[in-house]
Amino acid sequence: MFNDAFGWSDLVFMLTGTLNTLALTAWAVIIGTVVGVFLGLLRTVVPTSVNALIGAILDVPRSVPLLIQIVLVNSFKSVIGLDWSAFTVGCVVLAIYMAAYCTEVVRSGISSVPFTTRRAARSLGMTYWQDFRLVVFPMALRVSLPSWIGVVLGVLKDTSIVLWIGIIELLRSSQIIVTRTQQPILVLTVAGLIYFVICFPIARLGGRLEAKWSKQ
């Protein structure tokens, strides 16, 4: 007899989808942060024309809805000869999306350090890298880290969009169970709780760091 009740096996299936959500987030955050830090630093030292070009390129992933980016990349990958799985497509698109926002977070953090502070450091005999490591980086980190955490949370929740290309992450696994059990309120409540358990500690960490640094 067909069993339409939400059971332990369904919860396990949702947790398996959660692992895919976390894996997508981890890859996107790692790659996107590395690229974003590099581009953010680059935008602070290159000429204005080059900076404007980089900014214009990064405006594309920030301006086009993420769903459209994922569907287009997944559709055209074979046209350009890329044998990528749906998971790889999701990771790449989310990483580019993360990098676009992380670049601006890093650039704004570095730009927030007063020029007079940097000039004073150089007048004390510091090299460029000593000035950056001992003066700029600690000050920029205080400005950038809370914003970076916010971007990470956004990417984590945006992983739900990859269900459109067939990846069974948390939301997609929830939809499959809803179709079988016809219990959308219960299933989506469980999914929401899982998202909350993942996101709440990260959000609290960002809030605590921001409050701690604002008092210093």
pTM of the entire predicted model? 0.87
CATH of the domain at 119: 1.10.3720.10
Quick check: 95 and 155 in contact, CB under 8 A?
Answer: no
- Domain count for the chain, please give it: 1
Each residue's pLDDT tens digit, 17-33: 999 999 999 999 999 99
Average the pLDDT over 205-213 and give the result: 74
For residue 26, the enclosing domain spans 8-214
Helix/strand/coil percent split, the chain, to 5 = 85, 0, 15
Average the pLDDT over 76-92 and give the result: 89
Q: What is the pLDDT of residue 153?
A: 93
Q: What is the pLDDT of residue 29?
A: 96
Average the pLDDT over 120-142 and give the result: 80
Q: Is residue 2 part of a domain?
A: no
Q: Is residue 3 part of a domain?
A: no
State the Cα–Cα distance between residues 200 and 205, nearest whole angstrom. 9
Q: In whole angstroms, how far apart are CA 179 and each of 28, 172, 175, 209?
A: 30, 11, 6, 42
**62 pLDDT exceeds 70?**
yes
Q: Is residue 70 part of a domain?
A: yes
